[in-house]
Amino acid sequence: MTTEDTSAADATREGMKTVGFSFELQTQVGNARAGILHTPRGDILTPAFMPVGTLGSVKSLAPTDLRAEPIDAKIILGNTYHLYLRPGLDVIEDHGGLHEFMKWERPILTDSGGFQVFSLAQDNRIDDDGVTFQSHIDGSKHRLTPEVSMHIQSVLGSDIAMVFDQCPPAESAPRDHDVAMRRTTAWAKRCAQVERPAGQALFGIVQGGLDVERRLAHLAELVAIGFDGYAIGGLSVGEPPPEMYRVLGGVAHKLPPANPRYLMGVGTPADLYEGVVSGIDMFDCVMPTRNARGGTLFTSEGKVQMRNAKFRRDTGPLDPQCTCYTCTTFSRSYLRHLLKAKELLFSRLATIHNLSYYAQHMRGMRQAILEGREPRPLP
């Protein structure tokens, strides 16, 4: 570890004030890490993939599905922007928070709403204080600032909250990335000053586009503030995968080693592998659930499109190497029938499988690291 890395780690430890939240690094192979993220609601073995529950629900699945093997999700995501607009904070507050609202007792991470404000909202207007935007649902006008974002996440009662950030498109001009970095740093300071519920950790978000030096400069600003964890935002937003991997290779292992490292909104099985060997601990993405509902399933032999006519009379399992309920119970022929007939059961069975695939392979990479081996790419 370099003197620079040690200083960053020391500064970060000083900034970690969340009781019951800590990261334990177990072993490392190259930049790939295996660890345990300790939270008041349970431990999370890393590297880990976090299913996305945008509206308080991982689409088509019940909490019992998510807790069952081999998915056994230790943490899921909720979406600040979407839950604020629907059902609204008053409804969630009536239930005492998001955990009770959706009957999920394990940890939840909530994003800050920053990405959605810029990608979904109509007529958003940004200034140094925050963003004014119109809801994509009904056109109503709203104002989101760092303090408002933290208040929403406080009401949601998430175990990990994210700072409010500005996420510019990858193709933005360098000056636009500089403005976004400046604002994100200023907003991160304001988020850190807001009182949070007991046990709620706060992660900073590194911006800077595809410029590694910008990313590292922004990281230094966030480390000086001090957070419980650090995330890389603003990737997988249209840039070619090799460009994303180049940035990951230059930035991920520079994130403070004493804290969890989170790559936001990524990705494909190949993205997960590249992230892990670059030093990332936590991932989330809608890809496995969204692809499942559309009929694209990930298997040990690669992607399978269940609409394919060759599966019409295929009595074999979807993936012989998978131990999920779908693969140990139903044939490819039956799954194709459900999809073609537009039966709702298909979404559930397909989503169970895709999340199982991700979970099993993340555990495989973790086991390889624990055994001193470099992880293997996923099919």
**What is the 3-state secondary structure of 346-358?**
HHHHHHHHHHHHH
Q: Looking at residues 9-15, what average pLDDT do you find?
A: 42
**CA nearest 70: which of 54, 49, 53, 55?**
49
H/E stretch holding 333 reads helix 332-340
Q: What is the pTM of this model?
A: 0.94
DSSP 17: -
Say whether pLDDT at 7 is over 50.
Answer: no
Q: What percent of the chain has pLDDT over 70?
A: 95
Task: Give the model confidence (pLDDT) of 60-69 as tens digits.
Answer: 999 999 999 9
- Nearest residue to 111 via CA among 186, 183, 161: 161
Mean pLDDT of the chain: 94
pLDDT value at position 118? 77
- Res. 9 pLDDT band, cuts 50 70 90: very low
DSSP string, 245-270: HHHHHHHGGGS-TTS-EEETTB--HH
Quote the strand ranges of 210-321, DSSP E. Answer: 229-232, 261-263, 282-284, 296-299, 302-305
What are the residue ranges spanned by the domains of the chain?
3-17+24-286
Given this model, what pLDDT does residue 219 score? Answer: 98
**Exposure string for 59-70, b = 16+ CB within 10 A, e = fewer:** bbbebebbebeb
Q: Is the pLDDT of residue 15 over 60?
A: no
Residues of 308-338 as b/e, b for ≥16 C-beta within 10 angstroms? eeebeeeeebbbeebebbbbeebbbebbbbb
For the annotated catalytic residues, the residue numbers are: 111, 284
pLDDT score, position 119: 78
Contact (Cβ atoms closer than 8 angstroms) between residue 329 and residue 348: no
pLDDT band for position 121 (cuts 50, 70, 90): low
pLDDT reading at 248 higher than 70 = yes
Encoding tokens for residue 222?
A: 């966030």
Give residue 170's pLDDT band: very low, low, confident or very high (50, 70, 90): confident
Question: What's the whole-number mean pLDDT along residues 167-194?
Answer: 94
Strands 160-162 and 108-110: parallel
pLDDT band with cut points at 50, 70 and 90 for residue 314:
very high
Of 274, 292, 196, the closest CA to residue 235 belongs to 274
> The CATH number of 3-17+24-286 is which of 3.20.20.105, 1.10.1060.10, 1.10.357.10, 3.90.1010.10?
3.20.20.105
Task: Read off the DSSP letter of residue 52.
Answer: B
Quick: pLDDT tens for 26-64.
999 999 999 999 999 999 999 999 999 999 999 999 999
- CB-count burial class (<10 Å; 0-12, 13-18, 19+) for 302: exposed
pLDDT of 279 reads 98
Helical (H) or strand (E) element with 187: helix 174-193
What whole-number distance in Å separates Cα of residue 36 and Cα of residue 55?
27
Yes or no: say if 126 and 84 are a contact pair by the CB < 8 Å rule. Answer: no
